[in-house]
């Protein structure tokens, strides 16, 4: 009620400062409502538009209040004089009426003396569109933002002028830019000035927004038309069609003539049978006995006799198609009548499509880099154990799973997601490092010289770890929630975007690449690991304990797998089968890149990531087929380069 009283006071103040009484009368909106009284009371979506237009275009400050009250179903008509008021309920039988023009209360009335104006949803939608022009200059920023959103959803030519008028006085820089962009789009679609439209198309030709393409595409909409002899003057022709070429066959062309009323419809065999059945007379049709109507020539003869007698229309068969086709010209015409506008729109779309293609390539590259970083994190630990020890660890995926579950447990203890992730990373490393050391001490060291037994043993351990995870955490997926600052995505434009989680994983992969290189190049463990990798017997003779190096190396690889599990768990479902989803890709990454070489693992991850994304792009509807093609390619690749992209020298190479 307060907003209505304030609006009324504003109107009253405007009336009081008017120079004379006649101008105050001119500023009244009630006469406009009375001029359209019948349409307001008995309104429909088809008839109400002139009333809404009259109110909205009146230029009166009361117009916005009238439209808002009308849409809210708070407008009432007093039956005794037909005047319209704002109605406010006092009780179930009494309403207080407020005058639209003065803003003053005119009294209390019983409900039976009033009629409530109840616009349906269609009318309210029209009123909402009309209100947009007032909301564009509303002091409330959110109201202006909502008005722009309304225009974007349902643009109309009538909204272009008020939108332009509101731009200059817009105080919010963001909304002003949004208004300017929307004004350009509406100019392209609805402005009657050809030069203005061409300027707007030129301004937006480099924009990758979907809304720009959605505005330009309708300008190139075509319809198939036909004319006698030649194309009429003033028609914006997209192309002339020749019957019988491409997808425009002679039947399609003739049917177009029929649709335009320029030729009679062809008679089908069913049409002939139906007509003959309706004109059976004494056992014959058109002088042909019914018993003889079992052949097509006989039926056509009987039909011709009926047509000659005027009983049915003349038969039109396939032999009648060519003549009308030769005398008419067929063409596709743009719905947009201006040729220069359609030419400009076509060129703009061509430029945009080129930029979209380049940006799609960039987007695909970013996706591939993101996937490669995930594979690199998952495979780096396997590359260490496989390269140094020559152990095929089928339980490597379960170390990834253990790391993800460790992150989940930490989050249950530390609610703050940022702190929990920071704590989870070293904790996951410690847990999986310890698990890896235990596995190496208890199983791997006793089977190291027997690769087949090692493979079978680690495979059994992987199954046992999966079942253990099911027993502890259940079969339902557990959430590993990313911090709030990792929500959303970095959107470069409407085509290129990458989630912040993927960016974080990419950075994490680079960090671990640097950490691994530092360990291998600058620490004693790295020196000893490289020595054992190159020649274990010579390293042992130099005082290096190969068993200890193997244990620490296996623990290091397992610990890195645990950290990879935390990272992967931020965007993947944390279940007992999490590791099995990445073990195959991890082995492919190591084998393709080169066993035991960090740069080979990086190259293999990049190759697998780019290959998988490329295949998925070519065959997006079948990811299983894409994985199959990828495996086939890798098998062929290994046939030509069995040691991988970067071959390792030393024990691993000999093995």
Neighbours of 587 (CB within 10 A): 18
* Greatest mean pLDDT range, 78-87, 126-135, 293-302, 618-627: 78-87
Residues 356, 636: Cα–Cα separation, whole Å: 34
All structural domains of the chain with their residue ranges: 2-127, 136-220, 222-334, 357-484+496-654
The span from the CA of 286 to the CA of 280, in Å, is 8
First to last CA, the chain: 87
**pLDDT bracket for residue 26 (50, 70, 90):** low
**Mean pLDDT (whole number) for 566-583:** 86
Residue 90: DSSP 8-state:
S
Average pLDDT, the chain: 84
> To which residue do tokens 């008995």 refer?
42
For residue 526, give every residue at least 6 positions away whose Cβ sits within 8 Å of its Cβ, in sequence order, or none: 518, 519, 520
Q: What is the pLDDT of residue 84?
A: 92
Q: What is the pLDDT of residues 379-396, one digit of tens each?
A: 888 887 776 677 788 888
Looking at residues 346-353, what average pLDDT do you find? 91
Report the C-alpha dihedral over residues 187, 193, 198, 201, rounded to 10 degrees: 10
Q: What is the mean pLDDT of residues 276-302?
A: 83
Q: How far apart are CA 34 and CA 390, in angstroms?
A: 94
- Average the pLDDT over 89-97 and give the result: 88
The CA distance from 378 to 362, in Å, is 24
293-315: string of b/e by CB count within 10 Å (b at 16+)?
A: beeeebbbbbbebbeeeeebeeb
- Check residue 648 and give its pLDDT: 56
pLDDT of residue 350: 92
Q: Which 8-state DSSP code applies to residue 82?
A: -
Q: Are 623 and 616 in contact (CB under 8 A)?
A: yes
**Alpha-carbon span 562 to 554, nearest angstrom:** 12
Tokens 């909301």 sit on residue: 135
When mean pLDDT is compared across 69-78, 526-535, 565-574, the lowest value belongs to: 526-535
pLDDT tens per residue across span 401-425: 999 999 999 999 998 888 999 999 9
DSSP string, 201-248: HHHHTT---HHHHHHHGGGG-EEEEEEESSPPTT--EEEEE-TTBTTB
Contact indicator for 463, 580 with CB cutoff of 8 Å: no
Span 190-222, pLDDT tens digits: 998 999 999 999 999 888 888 899 999 999 999
Assess whether pLDDT exceeds 80 at residue 579.
yes
pTM: 0.66
Cα diameter, the chain: 120
The domain 357-484+496-654 having CATH identifier 2.120.10: the answer here is no
DSSP structural state of residue 523:
S
């Amino acid at each position: 009620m307060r907003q209505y009283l304030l609006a009324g006071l504003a109107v009253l103040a405007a009336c009081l400062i008017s120079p004379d009484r006649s101008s105050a009368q001119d500023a009244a909106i009630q006469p406009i409502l009375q001029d359209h009284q019948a349409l307001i009371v008995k309104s429909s979506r088809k008839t109400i538009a002139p009333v809404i237009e009259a109110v909205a275009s009146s230029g009166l400050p009361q117009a916005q209040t009238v439209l808002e009250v009308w849409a809210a179903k708070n407008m009432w008509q007093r039956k005794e004089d037909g005047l319209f008021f704002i109605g406010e309920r006092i009780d179930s039988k009494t309403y207080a009426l407020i005058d639209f023009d003065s803003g003053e209360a005119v009294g209390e009335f019983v409900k039976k003396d009033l009629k409530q104006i109840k616009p349906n949803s269609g009318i309210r939608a029209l009123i909402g569109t009309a209100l947009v022009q007032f909301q564009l200059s509303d002091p409330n920023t959110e109201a202006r933002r909502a008005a722009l959103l309304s225009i974007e959803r349902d643009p109309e030519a009538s909204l272009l002028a008020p939108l332009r008028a509101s731009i200059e006085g817009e105080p919010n820089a963001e909304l002003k830019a949004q208004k300017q962009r929307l004004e350009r789009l509406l100019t392209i679609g609805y402005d009657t000035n050809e030069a203005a439209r061409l300027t707007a198309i030129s301004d937006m030709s480099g924009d990758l927004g979907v809304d720009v393409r959605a505005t330009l595409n309708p300008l190139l909409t075509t319809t198939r038309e036909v004319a006698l002899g030649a194309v009429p003057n003033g028609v914006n022709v997209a192309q002339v069609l020749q019957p019988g070429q491409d997808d425009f066959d002679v039947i399609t062309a003739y049917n177009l003539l029929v649709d335009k009323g320029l030729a009679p419809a062809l008679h089908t065999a069913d049409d002939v049978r139906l007509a003959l059945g309706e004109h059976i007379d004494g056992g014959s049709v058109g002088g042909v006995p019914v018993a003889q109507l079992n052949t097509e020539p006989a039926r056509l003869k009987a039909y011709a006799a009926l047509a000659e007698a005027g009983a049915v229309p003349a038969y039109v068969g396939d032999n009648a198609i060519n003549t009308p086709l030769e005398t008419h010209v067929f063409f596709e015409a743009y719905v947009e009548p201006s040729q220069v506008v359609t030419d400009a729109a076509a060129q703009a779309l061509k430029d945009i499509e080129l930029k979209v293609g380049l940006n799609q390539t960039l987007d695909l590259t970013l996706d591939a880099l993101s996937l490669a970083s995930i594979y690199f994190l998952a495979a780096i630990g396997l590359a260490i154990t496989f390269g140094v020890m020559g152990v095929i660890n089928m339980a490597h995926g379960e170390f990834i799973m253990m790391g993800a579950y460790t992150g989940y447990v930490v989050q249950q203890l530390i609610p703050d997601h940022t702190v929990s992730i920071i704590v989870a990373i070293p904790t996951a490393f410690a847990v999986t490092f310890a698990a890896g050391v235990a596995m190496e001490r208890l199983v791997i060291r006793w089977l190291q010289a027997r690769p087949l037994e090692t493979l079978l043993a680690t495979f059994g351990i992987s199954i046992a770890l999966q079942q253990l995870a099911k027993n502890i955490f259940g079969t339902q997926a557990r959430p590993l929630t990313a911090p709030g600052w990792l929500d959303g995505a970095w959107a470069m434009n409407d085509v290129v975007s990458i989630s912040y989680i993927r960016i974080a994983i990419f950075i994490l992969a680079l960090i671990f690449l640097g950490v691994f290189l530092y360990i291998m190049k600058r620490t004693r463990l790295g020196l000893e690991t490289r020595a054992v990798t190159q020649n274990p017997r010579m390293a042992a003779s130099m005082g290096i304990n190969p068993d200890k190096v193997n244990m620490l190396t296996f623990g290091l690889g397992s610990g890195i797998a645990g950290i990879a599990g935390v990272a992967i768990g931020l965007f993947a479902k944390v279940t007992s089968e999490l590791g099995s989803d990445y073990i195959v890709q991890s082995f492919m990454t190591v084998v393709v890149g080169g066993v035991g070489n960090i740069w080979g693992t990086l190259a293999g991850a990049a190759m697998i990531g780019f290959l998988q994304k490329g295949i998925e792009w070519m065959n997006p509807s079948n990811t299983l087929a894409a994985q199959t093609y990828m495996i086939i390619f890798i098998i062929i690749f290994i046939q030509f380069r069995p040691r991988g992209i970067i071959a390792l020298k030393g024990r691993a190479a000999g093995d």
